Amino acid sequence: MNYRRERDIHRIVSPAVSLWLIPLSVALLFPMTVSAVELPKNEVARVQRKFELVLKGAYMSQGPEARCVTAKLENWEQFPVMRCDYKSDSRLATAYVLTADANRLARWVVRACIEATGAESESCADKLVSLIQTASNAQFPAAGIVLEGKDNKCQKCCFRDGVTISFPAWRKVSRQWSSATDDELRLCLNSKPTFIGEFARIQSTTVSEYTANGGTSSVANGKNRTGEWLRVVRESYQRAWSSDVNELMIAKAKNCCSR
């Protein structure tokens, strides 16, 4: 794997749905209105300390052998995406990553728990932090290849907008315990998905959780997710980037951590 330091831009092939024809209003993503809330400073600081530890496991962007440079990625041009060449279990791969810092992560979690429980909740926050650590180590792969362990049926996972995708040519690649080649990276970045996963990073929000939280976009056709799910996940994360409100995290908190 060549560690490249130039600024670059990659175009992503869209799914069959014409994503650019869909209005970008947040009301299409979540019709609910979330009012401003002053977050409890002590709780934000407590959760931030937890995320500082979680981020030590962010192997794609902060691992000892990760090499990251600023990159341009289609649909993500206004965000500080990093192209990271990294190593995991002696294998090499490349992913385009947009990972929030510990303070932003903490503010998302504290706000999500207030929305889910009606008040500050250490129990909710601790559950949500643990879930995020297990699901992603708080890393958001905007595109590229995420290496998983041998216990995962997908050991080289192709990601798009924080969700796993696949297509016929990737099925064999995904089961290979090996480094990702440059050809495989191009294949992952440029192929039209025929399968779109359900779990939205960084907290593995599902379609049913999105819908239960008021989401109205048609993100699935029966059991099959559509390209609309990628749009919803992408725009939710982008809107959260400069806000305390992460709607998909709120949706997860209401399901996993409010009791």
Tens digits of residue pLDDT in 195-208: 999 999 999 999 99
The span from the CA of 96 to the CA of 75, in Å, is: 12
Instruction: For residue 167, list its beta bridge partners.
Output: none
Tens digits of residue pLDDT in 125-180: 999 999 999 999 999 999 999 999 888 889 999 999 999 999 999 999 999 999 99
The residue among 133, 141, 146 whose CA lies nearest residue 92 is 146
Quote the pLDDT of residue 36.
Answer: 73
Tell me the whole-structure pTM to 2 decimals.
0.87
Q: Cβ distance 145 to 178 under 8 Å?
A: no
Is the pLDDT confidence value at 123 over 50?
A: yes
Domain boundaries, the chain: 37-256
Is the pLDDT confidence value at 112 over 60?
A: yes
**SS3 state of residue 252:** helix
The residue among 166, 171, 172 whose CA lies nearest residue 192 is 166
Q: What band does 35 get if pLDDT is binned at 50, 70 and 90?
A: low
Quote the pLDDT of residue 12.
Answer: 61
Mean pLDDT, residues 28-49 taken together: 78
The span from the CA of 120 to the CA of 258, in Å, is: 11
Tens digits of residue pLDDT in 62-84: 999 999 999 999 999 999 999 99
